[in-house]
Chain A
């Protein structure tokens, strides 16, 4: 896969980030109406991270995600229409309405699931990467996790194991500053999560998570090394989320105007648009067309999610085992 960001790939990156943003903004609005059941954790603000990493991945590469997983799903190619239906708890959802926002998965796309357990994905990605290594299929595994999970034993064990076994794994720490309400500047004992990489014998890099190009470059290097048998990398993506830990979180722990300032000054879509249109290769109008197409897609996904049937009583008891 070429790392070169040609025109086509830039447009694709923009479409992915825009789709995530539109999806999350819409879920935020719809959640407020009381229509969406359960817990929803939104990824808005962090789009460049999922997109910058997943642009390097093949369909048969695996990623493990987090409770804040919509962005990773979309970036890995999971169908937003099925995702929206899943979030509504409909039988047409990605997981037939049995998983919900926190468990959207599509193994056919190499998406090993959003995960309700903080840090749950680290060991799993060691596993997919181990299988890749044993099959010698040159695929890689990417574990997305947050600053909260960076303090979980599972992630630390997984990073150690990845080096011990020399696995084609990439650990992407999305440090959005808060584990639920707790600031990472308090909960993470070192200055940077990436500093921990040396303890596990792997390279650690820090990138600005609002800058798609920075993420893309760092991830490209890590994925290339992994594919070539060079072992794992830890990438810390410094970023921020626009919404609360979950929908309904009033974010009283954040400074007044903190989010608005980020939206106005650092937003990844804004920066991306400025940079690609300034280079002259891509026009505002082209991006506008994408915006309109994405809006239509998300509109459609919501209309369908609302209209689609819920699972029936028989569905309660199916899909527990392959056979029992």
Chain B
């Protein structure tokens, strides 16, 4: 797999290939066509960061521009999914789910159960999350733990270009509603991605690195920080195992637990705010199900309990980094 493309290109390619494969796949979102009805060039944007660029002309009539009406078009994607389409809706920033959360968690997530199993809602909501763009409190949150909390939703959080393509293809083919979380800083990350179509299954964590001393569970952008930390720690003879859950719903509990059974030590790295986060969820899981294996307290490396700040001086402090992970690992290595 010599071909390297970016995370953003991988997402675009997944959409393109699935649209070519299945005529029921459609894409909708704000600024997909660079402002339908504006006098300038169509398809100038492909969404705010250009992720869907090129698809508008390639798949005529199947890439829809939407007004800035997140409830309206996210709900429309859900309704269309009930009527035979496989819509992929782009919710520009995950922070905006504040204005359309009802459609996601009261409608899409509930139909299957509430209607006695008779509904299927194969909708994908792609959304951009995460800090690092100096975009401040309303454009930088993670929030995947909120979706993970809700039965009926699936949540995919790709950490690299390969997973971005494979998980998105799986999301589109999946018959349940999927929230697909794209970290805005990862869009430019390059990696090996097969040109052919493939899907990465849900609920199967990736063991990114093997090691016997400490288990690091990291999500999304945090995976590469964990790799940097593990690389540095290896020089001190500390061997970290890194697990990337890839999806938080379903969550591959077995892989996490098996690893902690082996290492006896756990650091969870999550860019979210700490309360009711994936970090606390996974820590709780391990405390409950692998208590006997633990040799030290579980460490959580997360953002603090504050909104994402604007100033680079503050945002850099806010985001977890490799140094914080290293210090958490060292701390539990020295315990007891």
Are any A and B Cβ atoms less than 8 Å apart in their complex?
yes
A324 interface residue (CB < 8 Å to B): yes
Please pick, from A99, A125, A141, A318, the residue contacting B115 in the complex, using a CB distance under 8 A: A99
B106 close to A120 (CB less than 8 A) = yes
Please pick, from B64, B75, B106, B154, the residue contacting A321 in the complex, using a CB distance under 8 A: B154
A112 close to B118 (CB less than 8 A) = no
Count of chain A residues with a beta carbon within 8 Å of a chain B beta carbon: 49
B284 interface residue (CB < 8 Å to A): no
Q: How far is the CA of A124 from the CA of B177 in the complex (A)?
A: 14
A117 close to B83 (CB less than 8 A) = no
CB distance from B156 to the nearest CB of A (A): 13
A160 close to B72 (CB less than 8 A) = yes
A107 interface residue (CB < 8 Å to B): yes
CB distance from A82 to the nearest CB of B (A): 10
Q: How far is the CA of A134 from the CA of B112 in the complex (A)?
A: 24
Q: How far is the CA of A312 from the CA of B54 in the complex (A)?
A: 51
Stretch at the interface among A9-17, A151-159, A190-198, A205-213: A151-159
A94 interface residue (CB < 8 Å to B): yes
B117 close to A96 (CB less than 8 A) = yes
Please pick, from A108, A157, A165, A324, the residue contacting B64 in the complex, using a CB distance under 8 A: A165
6 pairs, A vs B, C-beta closer than 8 Å: A94-B115, A120-B102, A125-B79, A134-B80, A154-B75, A321-B152
A220 interface residue (CB < 8 Å to B): no
**By CB atoms of chain A within 10 A, which of B62, B82, B106 has the most?**
B82
Please pick, from B64, B114, B120, the residue contacting A322 in the complex, using a CB distance under 8 A: B120
B-facing mask of A111-125, CB < 8 A → 1, else 0?
011011100101111
A131 close to B84 (CB less than 8 A) = yes
A324 close to B103 (CB less than 8 A) = no
Q: How far is the CA of A108 from the CA of B83 in the complex (A)?
A: 10
A223 interface residue (CB < 8 Å to B): no
B-facing mask of A138-170, CB < 8 A → 1, else 0?
000100000000000110011011001100000
CB distance from B106 to the nearest CB of A (A): 5
Beta-carbon nearest neighbor of B152 in chain A: A320
Please pick, from B79, B81, B85, B114, the residue contacting A95 in the complex, using a CB distance under 8 A: B114
B61 interface residue (CB < 8 Å to A): yes
Beta-carbon nearest neighbor of A139 in chain B: B83
A93 close to B79 (CB less than 8 A) = no
Interface on B for A, CB 8 Å cutoff? 26, 61-62, 64, 66-67, 69, 71-85, 87, 99, 102-103, 106-107, 110-120, 151-152, 154, 174-176, 203, 250
A130 close to B76 (CB less than 8 A) = yes
CB distance from A146 to the nearest CB of B (A): 16
B67 close to A99 (CB less than 8 A) = no
Beta-carbon nearest neighbor of B119 in chain A: A107
Interface on A for B, CB 8 Å cutoff? 62, 64, 93-99, 103, 105-108, 112-113, 115-117, 120, 122-132, 134-135, 141, 153-154, 157-158, 160-161, 164-165, 318-324
Q: How far is the CA of A126 from the CA of B110 in the complex (A)?
A: 19
A161 close to B116 (CB less than 8 A) = no
Beta-carbon nearest neighbor of B62 in chain A: A134
What are the residues of chain A within 8 A of B84 when measuring CB–CB?
131, 135
Q: How far is the CA of A322 from the CA of B175 in the complex (A)?
A: 6
B61 close to A134 (CB less than 8 A) = yes
B118 close to A105 (CB less than 8 A) = yes
The answer to whether residues A123 and B114 also contact, given A154-B102, A321-B154 and a CB cut-off of 8 A, is: no
**By CB atoms of chain B within 10 A, which of A62, A158, A319 has the most?**
A319
B152 close to A127 (CB less than 8 A) = no
